[in-house]
Amino acid sequence: MTLREKAGQLNQRMYGWDAYRRTPGGFELTDALYAETERFAGLGALYGLQRADAWSGVDHDNGPGAEDGAALAELVQRHVVDAGRLGIPTLFVEEVPHGHMALDGTVLPVNLAVGATWDPRLYEAAAARAAAELRARGGHVALVSALDIARDPRWGRTEECFGEDPHLAARLTEALVRGMQGAGGSAGEDFAPDKAPVVLKHFAGQGATVGGRNSAESELGLRELHEIHLPAARAGVRAGAAAVMAAYNEVDGMPCSGNRALLTGLLRDDWGFDGLVMADGLAVDRLARITGDKVSAGALALNSGVDLSLWDEGFTHLETAVERGLVSEESLDAAVARVLRLKFRLGLFERPYTTSELPSPEAGRILSTDLARASVTLLRNPDGILPLAPRASRIAVIGPQAATVAHQLGDYTAPQRPGTGTSVLDALRRLAPPGTDIRHARGCALTGGDVSGIPEAIAAAVSADLAVLVLGGSSARTPETEFDANGAALAATDEMTCGEGADLAGLELGRAQHALLDAVVATGTPTAVVLIQGRPHVVPDTAAALLTAWYPGPWGGEAIAEVLLGLAEPTGRLPVSVPRSAAQLPVYYNHKDTEYGGYVDESAEPLYSFGHGLSYTSFAYGTPRLAGLDVEVDVTNTGQRSGRSVVQVYLRRLLTPTWPRTLELCAFEGVDLAPGERRTVRLSLDAGQLAPSRTVEIRVAASAREALGVRGQSLTAPEDTPR
């Protein structure tokens, strides 16, 4: 291969939607694609050929749907293979954050909702479904957020995190890799036709940016980096992840895409990772702030361990960088080999145009609804007003989120066809017992201070037995949104309150929503608040019941209605702590126990702690028993309804009698129990979790807050425990 051809394999410069245009008979390729393949004697990778959203401008009028996505991919691939001297196929790289981000793709609940399920097996099935859809449409590689840890809920991308805990994120990351790549892909073998190599993003520490501001620096010490922000990546690598994406943020002053200690010293040398490292969008060019120009920026990224760029100019000059001695040809060859190896594992040289059968849309809907149902988390229900049926014959369904599907979807979502999905209002009308009188009033807008609709909401609440008040935020993007070159929103517009580029200084829902809440509660009608949100918002603890469903996807309204009516049990548990105010931050549970006090004007404790979640039944735990590194506990359903208990095992380290200790989740297991049923749950601990301490306390509880008050059993690590 020539230097030009090698450099071409490491470039992913085009926006995929610029490679084609729709015609009356199908699609035609653009001059931009012809110029790109001519420039590099081929094409290493193409991002977002089937991406559809407000940023790309792709919708159902001009983009590929389920019926013709594979045909478009084949059209582009045939051109790429024919255009290069060596006939090397390109990699089609697609966003699969919560389902394939393409027209007609199955939209799943966002990662924060997945974290609330505490159910890796269910998520593995959903991930497998997303991979099958991607490959059936001609796509190859899935970009999936998994590694960011939610440490500051002001960050707009909190919805892309599995939660605040490294162990929970690690188990779900493993499930993601298993589901998408399958056994063969995880073992380094060829990928099955319905499996996709996954790019885990973002590596590393992006969830700890200063002030919760997107792409800002991360002030991380080595302990916090390794104990909090790297375990999910380590688990993904061990599971066989094909690739990782270097994050935007800095770690100790060095941007991740130029951080050789991180990408080569740790990831490759220490962890033995032999997969692909991809840069985030335009991150290589940002290194020019350090190096002075984009040629040397590309050289720094390649020498640090980046193999594949994204939209950058810096990697287009790698030929020049070699000629100037900034990069050795051996380093260039190593990166090219990793790109080609992935193409071989996908079978692209033998079968460049092969796709698998498109999975059933109905099966996708069922999986999405199952995930949504499992994520609904009941936070408060002291008077037992939930479930609603059969006590309520008149229900007022109120709020800006009650009758909309668009705000249930989250960021990185393709346009939906009219009629797709179910709102909370529609689902309640369909599922409530016959004869139930359901009245609706919007009450107020999602953002702003307009309260003109509140009188109508008050009237609806006064005439009802119970009120369901559906509030929250939205990550919906519109064509009026102003986007940065990497797709992040430059400013929040319309009803946007969350997502990439929509960071908040405060966590309140807004004046109008708070006024609506106060007005409805003041009527005296028992009120259940439902939150549809991409981050834990601060909500006054005044309603009779409170539950959160995060962004539950198109059919989340059905899942929420089932839980409200008692047709399904609330089984979700909090993946993040819910603060009382933004002024408390941080409130994550696994901080060092240095016996610091609270505030003079506010409690230092979260309103609801990590792991919290109520049920319509009750559970009792027996005394935990230790058998080697296994923990056994008897769990009994002591209530009148079936339910799911999530048994949570925490470690509390005892390094020395005076050393600060940390509470850490180390194992969990969900168990479904009928009324009166008792079952022994056995959870295995990893000996490596005990390092570097000699002795730990084992605490079995139903939340982090409960674990702090539970007396633990001591366990001494064996002499051969890894240190």
pLDDT score, position 575: 98
In terms of Cβ atoms closer than 10 Å to its own Cβ (0-12, 13-18, 19+), residue 501 is buried
* 575 token code pair: 């993946």
* 3 token code pair: 């230097």
Q: CA-to-CA distance for 485 and 55, rounded, in angstroms?
A: 9
- Sheet of strand 695-701, all strands in order from the earlier edge strand to the far edge: 592-593, 661-673, 643-654, 695-701, 713-716
Cis check: omega of the bond before 660, within 30 degrees of 0: no
Q: Is the separation of the CB atoms in 516 and 454 below 8 Å? A: yes
Q: Is the separation of the CB atoms in 542 and 521 below 8 Å? A: yes
Question: What DSSP designation does 583 have?
Answer: G
CA dihedral 221, 226, 228, 230 (to 10 degrees): 130
First to last CA, the chain: 46
Q: Is the separation of the CB atoms in 48 and 16 below 8 Å? A: yes
* 33 token code pair: 């694609």
pLDDT score, position 719: 55
pLDDT score, position 187: 77
Residues in Cβ contact with 716 at an 8 Å cutoff, skipping those fewer than 6 apart = 694, 695
Of 119, 124, 203, the C-alpha closest to 168 is 119
Taking 50 as the pLDDT cut, the residues of the chain under it are 722-723
Which helix or strand (DSSP H or E) is residue 699 part of? Answer: strand 695-701
Residue with tokens 């037995």: 465
Question: What SS3 state is found at 412?
Answer: coil
Question: What DSSP designation does 266 have?
Answer: I
pLDDT score, position 723: 43
pLDDT score, position 449: 85
pLDDT score, position 220: 86
pLDDT score, position 690: 67
Q: CA-to-CA distance for 90 and 141, rounded, in angstroms?
A: 11
Q: CA-to-CA distance for 552 and 156, rounded, in angstroms?
A: 17
Of 684, 686, 621, 699, the C-alpha closest to 654 is 699
Q: CA-to-CA distance for 55 and 219, rounded, in angstroms?
A: 31
